[in-house]
């Protein structure tokens, strides 16, 4: 976990430096007092400083005791498939919602993800997917007037 | 209008048939989402916000508040029955609650939790009614420097109590503050840190961050550690949910102390919901004649943290409603819902929307009663829901998370952000870094920046305004002392944040 702590601290440090450079483009002070760049600049400096301090602390060997010595940053071999399935399903839904619309995208999402997570009853999966896509769309858009993505296909 | 008239007016608002219905719906939905693995009060409240978009502010906020405390109780059920706390607030309940379930006393554990929650929540609501108006009057006299100093105390407490280690907590809180800088400058109205991405001009919404860091990450973590079926899921009838005659005095004492502790800690902005439960458990253990029995299934080990939890939940409405300062990530989500409904929490609310604020406060009382009446007979049903196959449960949760993220701004970009923060939350939580400070800081940051800049504008850029005004100086001193104590790893600040041993 030591390497993961170092990398994550330095990752946040790098992001803060990007924000610092960007914040320097805005005025720090103007005629009314503090400008729009002041607070982001101070925060970016503080974030980079704390991130660096944490990375140094870990590098100096002051590694905090691990809650679980066997813990790993990435999922174990058995968990890799379901975790990846969640990520792929979410990414796919994000990309498809604007094209296929809520009902079709969510139907595919609710068929694919339960299958990937171990459900094997096709009737139960299809019923579940229909309820979560067509049924929920009807409840939310008709009953609660909640706007849901229609997609380019208008579905 | 004196305080009694405000109370009566509040009860008149909260007990209209429409609002009563929303209290019941909110309590049931809250309990449901709270007990499901992967969902706690934060995600539950965030996911269900879209259901209220088309509602009027008063019933919407009454329902969301009911979801909030309902979810708190829901977390207790999964803690007792399957040893899976919905979130940090229910961790301590697992110690003795799960042991009681293994001994076949799940019903008693849940019954005591329901009674403790009712008593703690009700007494805290009465106290809230008494202190809210005087505090709101004091809050009206607070200027931007004092508000900045107060928010800074909240931020320091969030950063230092959020986890066992100072630097990761502080880093995650700072990341939250930095994320809040993305979007329009609150004073000048110019976009900043948007890197030319138009979707970022409106800033990073808290819903995608909450859903990602908590909901998506929790599901990914849960998939790595599947929960075993509950061994003590049988609850029995209503009679099987009450403690024995010998246990009642211990339960009553634990409930009394838990109420007081939960209420007092709830008044401190930024203390978070976890600390009161830890502190109540530790206090009971210290006062017990048999501290060695804690962790083996003693009833006061459930009564104290559950009571403190609900007393805290209602008391923490005080800083939210009077100062506009959320005390925990869940309250930050609730505050976001206030803003979505065009209501800005703070002292002016008592003057401008007395119907809303007193109706909401009265609804807490009604909601506690509804929770008690509903949950005692329904515990068996809740227990069966815990047996839902995860292959269907997790996609359903993600489906609601997608809808919740999309519907706030009708933005698919926000759904993508949820995914990004889900991965981030998964990684940092595997490192055992806290993510709650990020969410709370994200909400506190615009308030802090506005207060800081207004203060400096008042003084013409002279920062000494923070030390020349006595209340601001005192509050800044408190923040500095809290930070130094936490950095030194000593004192009550760190001990409070440390989880008790079962």
* Full 3-state SS string of B275-303: HHHHHHHHHHHHHCCCHHHCCCCCCHHHH
Coil/strand/helix, residue B435: coil
Positions in chain B short of pLDDT 70: 1, 37-38, 84-88, 161-164, 226-239, 270-271, 489-502
Interchain contact, B171 vs A51, CB within 8 Å: yes
List the one residue out of B95, B15, B448 whose CA is nearest residue B306.
B95
Note the pTM of the prediction, 2 decimals: 0.82
List the one residue out of B337, B365, B263 whose CA is nearest residue B10.
B365
Give a three-class secondary structure readout of chain A: CHHHHHHHHHHHHHHHHHHHHHHCCCCCEECCEECCCHHHHHHHHHHHHHHHHHHHHHHCCCCCCCCCCCCCCCCCHHHHHHHHHHHHHHHHHHHHHHHHHHHHHHHHHHHHHHHHCCCCCHHHHHHHHHHHHHHHHHHHHHHCCCCCCCCCCCC
pLDDT value of position B416: 95
Positions in chain A short of pLDDT 50: none
pLDDT value of position B138: 79
- DSSP 8-class letter at B85: -
A108-141: buried (b, 16+ CB within 10 Å) or exposed (e) per residue?
bbbbbbbbbbebeeeeebeebbbebbbebbeebe
ipTM metric: 0.93
Chain A residues near residue B427 by CB distance under 8 angstroms = 4, 8, 73
Mutate which: B221, B431, B466, B498, vs A, most A CBs within 10 A: B431
Between B224, B392, B412, which is nearest A119 by CB?
A: B392
Residue A34 sits at the chain B interface (C-beta within 8 Å)? yes
pLDDT value of position B494: 52
Residue A71 sits at the chain B interface (C-beta within 8 Å)? yes
Is there a contact between B467 and B473 (Cβ–Cβ < 8 Å)?
yes
pLDDT value of position B227: 61
For residue A127, the distance in angstroms to the closest alpha carbon of chain B comes to 11
In degrees, rounded to 5, the angle at the alpha carbon of residue B381 between the alpha carbons of residues B220 and A132 is: 50
Show Cβ contacts of residue A109 under 8 Å, excluding neighbours closer than 6 positions.
Answer: A89, A92, A93, A129, A133, B395, B398, B399
Q: How many CB pairs under 8 A join A and B?
A: 186
Which residue ranges make up each domain of chain A? 2-59, 77-143
Mean pLDDT, chain B, integer: 83
Chain A residues near residue B178 by CB distance under 8 angstroms = 15-16, 19, 40, 43-44, 47
Chain A residues near residue B461 by CB distance under 8 angstroms = 29, 33-34
pLDDT value of position B435: 86
Angstrom CA distances, B447 to A16, B130, B151, stand at 21, 27, 8
pLDDT value of position B238: 67
Interchain contact, A23 vs B407, CB within 8 Å: no
Chain A residues near residue B56 by CB distance under 8 angstroms = none
Interchain contact, A90 vs B395, CB within 8 Å: no
pLDDT value of position A68: 55
């Amino acid at each position: 976990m030591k390497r993961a702590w170092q990398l994550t601290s330095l990752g946040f440090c790098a992001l803060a430096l990007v924000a610092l450079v960007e914040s320097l483009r805005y005025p720090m002070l103007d005629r009314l007092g503090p400008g729009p760049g002041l607070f982001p600049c101070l925060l970016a400096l503080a974030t980079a400083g704390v991130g660096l301090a944490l990375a140094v602390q870990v590098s100096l060997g002051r590694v905090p005791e691990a809650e679980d010595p066997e813990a790993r940053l990435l999922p174990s071999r058995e968990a890799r498939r379901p975790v990846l399935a969640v990520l792929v399903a979410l990414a796919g839904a994000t990309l498809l919602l604007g094209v296929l619309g809520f009902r079709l995208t969510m139907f595919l999402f609710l068929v694919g993800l339960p299958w990937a997570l171990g459900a094997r009853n096709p009737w139960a999966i299809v019923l579940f997917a229909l309820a979560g896509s067509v049924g929920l769309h009807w409840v939310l858009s008709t009953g609660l007037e909640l706007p849901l993505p229609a997609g380019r296909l208008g579905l | 209008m004196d305080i009694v008239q405000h109370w009566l007016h509040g009860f008149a608002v909260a007990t209209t048939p429409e609002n009563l219905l929303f209290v019941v719906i909110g309590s049931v939905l809250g309990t449901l989402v709270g007990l499901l693995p992967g969902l706690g009060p934060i995600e539950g409240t965030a996911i269900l916000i879209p259901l209220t978009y088309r509602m009027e502010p008063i019933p919407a906020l009454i329902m969301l508040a009911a979801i909030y405390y309902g979810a708190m109780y829901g977390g207790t059920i999964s803690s007792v029955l399957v040893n899976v706390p919905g979130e940090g607030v229910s961790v301590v309940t697992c110690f003795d609650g799960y042991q009681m379930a293994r001994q076949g006393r799940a019903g008693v554990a849940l019954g005591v939790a329901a009674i403790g929650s009712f008593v703690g929540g009700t007494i805290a609501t009465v106290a809230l009614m008494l202190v809210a108006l005087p505090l709101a009057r004091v809050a009206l006299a607070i200027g931007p420097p004092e508000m900045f100093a107060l928010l800074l105390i909240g931020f320091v407490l969030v950063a230092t109590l959020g986890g066992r280690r100072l630097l990761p907590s502080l880093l995650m809180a700072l990341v939250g503050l930095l994320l809040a800088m993305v979007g329009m400058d609150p004073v000048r109205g110019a976009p900043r840190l948007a890197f030319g991405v138009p979707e970022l001009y409106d800033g990073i919404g808290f819903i995608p961050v909450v859903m990602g860091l908590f909901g998506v990450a929790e599901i990914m973590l849960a998939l790595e550690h599947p929960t075993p079926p509950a061994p003590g899921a049988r609850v029995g009838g209503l009679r099987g949910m009450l403690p024995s005659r010998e246990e009642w005095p211990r339960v009553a004492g634990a409930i009394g102390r838990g109420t007081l502790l939960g209420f007092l800690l709830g008044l401190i902005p930024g203390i978070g919901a976890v600390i009161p439960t830890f502190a109540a458990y530790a206090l009971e253990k210290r006062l017990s004649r048999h501290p060695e029995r804690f962790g083996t299934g003693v009833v006061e080990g459930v009564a104290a943290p559950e009571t403190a939890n609900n007393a805290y939940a209602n008391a923490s409405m005080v800083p939210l409603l009077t100062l506009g300062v959320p005390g925990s990530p869940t309250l930050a989500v609730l505050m976001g819902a206030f803003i979505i409904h065009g209501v800005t929490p703070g002292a002016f609310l008592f003057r401008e929307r007395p119907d809303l604020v007193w109706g909401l406060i009265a609804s807490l009382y009604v909601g506690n009663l509804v929770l008690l009446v509903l949950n005692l007979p329904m515990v068996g049903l809740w227990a069966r829901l815990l047996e839902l196959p995860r292959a269907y449960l997790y996609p359903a949760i993600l489906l609601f998370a997608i809808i919740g993220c999309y519907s706030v701004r009708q933005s698919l970009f926000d759904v993508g952000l949820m995914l990004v923060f889900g991965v981030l939350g998964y990684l940092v939580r595997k490192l055992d870094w806290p993510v709650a400070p990020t969410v709370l800081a994200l909400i506190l940051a615009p308030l802090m920046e506005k207060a800081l800049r207004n203060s400096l504008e008042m003084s013409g850029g002279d920062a000494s305004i923070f030390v020349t005004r006595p209340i601001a100086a005192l509050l800044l001193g408190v923040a500095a002392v809290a930070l130094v104590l936490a950095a030194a790893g000593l004192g009550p600040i760190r001990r409070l944040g440390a989880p008790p041993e079962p």
